[in-house]
């Protein structure tokens, strides 16, 4: 019986780690573009704005940023995979 429950726990831990990874990337994306110094953006401002809106919704609705990505990306015409590729390429 214990062996049956080990695999789902491992899957949940991996899933949780993946969510934490995406949450931190989105948060970094939201902070990556300084409005005071326009030349210092780490990512395109379009993607930084998407990340900011994701964080705003996550905070307002008490949700994880990764749970809000689809909603905001579709509103801006940005693919989720596209956003994640930009974040990975530019923010490590």
* pLDDT the model gives residue 7: 45
Give tens-digit pLDDT for 3-51. 444 444 444 545 566 777 777 888 888 887 755 555 556 788 889 899 9
Contacts of 40-48 with C-beta under 8 Å, sequence gap 24+, read 42/90, 42/91, 43/86, 43/87, 43/90, 43/91, 44/86, 46/76, 46/78, 47/78, 47/83, 47/86, 47/87
pTM for the model stands at 0.72
Give tens-digit pLDDT for 50-80. 999 999 999 999 988 888 888 899 999 999 8
* pLDDT the model gives residue 3: 41
């Amino acid at each position: 019986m214990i062996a049956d429950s080990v695999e789902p726990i491992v899957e949940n831990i991996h899933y949780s780690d993946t969510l934490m990874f995406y949450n931190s990337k989105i948060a970094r994306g939201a902070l990556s573009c300084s409005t005071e110094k326009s030349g210092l953006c780490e990512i395109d401002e379009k993607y930084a704005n998407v990340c900011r809106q994701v964080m705003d919704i996550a905070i307002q609705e008490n949700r994880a940023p990764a749970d809000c990505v689809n909603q905001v990306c579709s509103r801006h015409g940005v693919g989720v995979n596209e956003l994640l590729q930009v974040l990975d390429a530019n923010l490590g």
